[in-house]
Amino acid sequence: MIGDFLEKYTFDYLMNDALSRVNENIDTREGSIIYDALAPACYELAGFYLQLKNLLLDTFPQTAIGQYLDYKVEEFGLHRYPSKKAVRFAEFKNEKKEGVQIALGSRFATIDDAALIFKVVRATNVAGKYEVECETTGVVGNRYYGNILPLENYRNLATAVLGEIVTSGQDEETDDELRKRFLIYVNEKPFGGNFIEYVQRVREIDGVGAVQVYPVWNGSGTVKVVVLDNDLNLASTETIKKVQNVLDPLEYTGKGVGLAPINHRVTVTTATRFPIDIEFKLELMTGYQLNQVKELVDKALDQYFLDLRKNWAQYSDVNTYSMKIYRSQLMAKLLTITGIANVDKMKLNNREADLSLVFTGQLQQLPYKGTVRMV
């Protein structure tokens, strides 16, 4: 690894090297005058070598971190994606189920452990329906659905419900994510509406967490763009409309009004939810009961499918997509849970076989955990 050659310059190494240059007739034992004279300098020099290695690591995008990685990618016109607040629809009604007028700036709290605060920012054309913005940045603002409570008293308000996402909140791009995007950018040059330009341009649009691109999916000049939200779930109708208008507005399709080149007719959609039912036989360790591991099994499977969705947008050298769900990987994930001794006879969607997802111009599946049956 870069800078490994500097690791040998420890305090002991530097002291031994310095003392080896002292006349052999002079006492060099610890506590001697020459030892005590050299020790502070060698100590500081060892720290210098440590910082020198960090400096060297921060010089290259493959190993730089934090602001030094930011500086490096900015040389190429790239910037780290910042964290953003979620914007959601919320409906406010009285006891007669009629829309209630709410003052802009009013604040409401979610009824969960996160206790997020949403502020009313914009009215819609529907009575009682408003856009509300989460005061906390990040994907956490995308997750809660249901009743919210006012932080001020409203006489006529009977229900307040947080609903569909308008713009997904997103976390700040991590070093690894930024580094990966940078290396793709410098190694796969976007040009003239080619595959990689679509991928990069769409990924830069607010609310888009992942994208698949299918050229010539429905004849010459057609391009299908399939997007997910920042949580790597199905994109909302609002996000799909936004991406469509940025790339190729429907009323001017093929005319080059958006980012898409002239004669490119772009169709923007989201993936198809594909639940995968899982059945398997569990052998538990002595002293464990099924109810002790059930919650951990559900969490492990949820994480596995989230990891799959993180790789959903990865493409091959010839710009195609593929994804396979291996039972061996699922079983290995479950075997990490304390209390589970063995996993056997696993079925995916009632078949004792691995499962390949469909990625075509007509159908793009997005894997989710379905029903789980443990026997």
User: Pairing mode, if any, of strands 159-167 and 117-123?
Assistant: unpaired
pLDDT of residue 114: 86
Distance CA 317, CA 187 (A): 12
Instruction: Confirm if 275 and 369 have CB atoms less than 8 A apart.
Output: yes
- Residue 42's domain spans which residues? 4-57
Instruction: Confirm if 282 and 290 have CB atoms less than 8 A apart.
Output: yes
pLDDT of residue 226: 98
CA-wise closest residue to 315 among 356, 359, 273: 359
298 lies in the same domain as 342:
yes
Q: What is the mean pLDDT of residues 12-32?
A: 91
Q: What is the mean pLDDT of residues 184-204?
A: 88
CB burial of 214-249 (b: ≥16 within 10 Å; e: otherwise) equals beeeeeebbbbbbbbbbbbbbbbebbbebbbbbbbe
351 lies in the same domain as 261:
no
Domain stops at, among 255, 270, 285:
270
229 lies in the same domain as 138:
no
158 lies in the same domain as 228:
no
In a domain, 232, yes or no: yes
pLDDT of residue 168: 87
In a domain, 247, yes or no: yes
Distance CA 220, CA 341 (A): 55
Domain stops at, among 222, 249, 270:
270
In a domain, 68, yes or no: no
Per-residue DSSP letter, 192 = T
Instruction: Give the bridge partners for 119, in sequence order.
Output: 107, 133
144 lies in the same domain as 219:
no
158 lies in the same domain as 230:
no
Q: What is the mean pLDDT of residues 5-20?
A: 92
The amino acid sitting at 226 is: V
Name residues whose C-beta falls within 8 Å of residue 53's C-beta, 6 or more positions apart in sequence. 3, 6, 7
Domain stops at, among 57, 74, 96:
57
Q: What is the mean pLDDT of residues 21-36?
A: 91
271 band by pLDDT with thresholds 50, 70 and 90 = very high
Alpha helices in 25-174 (DSSP H): 33-57, 66-74
In a domain, 367, yes or no: yes
- pLDDT of residue 2 exceeding 80, the answer is no
Name residues whose C-beta falls within 8 Å of residue 81's C-beta, 6 or more positions apart in sequence. 170, 172, 173, 177, 178
In a domain, 74, yes or no: no
163 lies in the same domain as 249:
no
CA-wise closest residue to 170 among 229, 130, 116, 222: 229
In a domain, 348, yes or no: yes
pLDDT of residue 330: 95
pLDDT of residue 113: 87
365 lies in the same domain as 278:
yes
How far lies 355's CA from each of 209, 282, 290, 323, in Å? Answer: 25, 21, 26, 9
296 lies in the same domain as 370:
yes
Quick one: tokens of 323? 């994804």
280 lies in the same domain as 368:
yes
> pLDDT for 45-79, tens place per residue?
999 999 999 899 999 999 999 999 999 999 999 99
Distance CA 170, CA 281 (A): 38
206 band by pLDDT with thresholds 50, 70 and 90 = confident
> pLDDT for 302-327, tens place per residue?
999 999 999 999 999 899 999 999 99
Instruction: Confirm if 272 and 360 have CB atoms less than 8 A apart.
Output: no
Count other Cβ atoms within 10 Å, centred on residue 311. Answer: 11
Provide the number of structural domains found in the chain. Answer: 4
pLDDT of residue 184: 86
313 lies in the same domain as 324:
yes
In a domain, 313, yes or no: yes
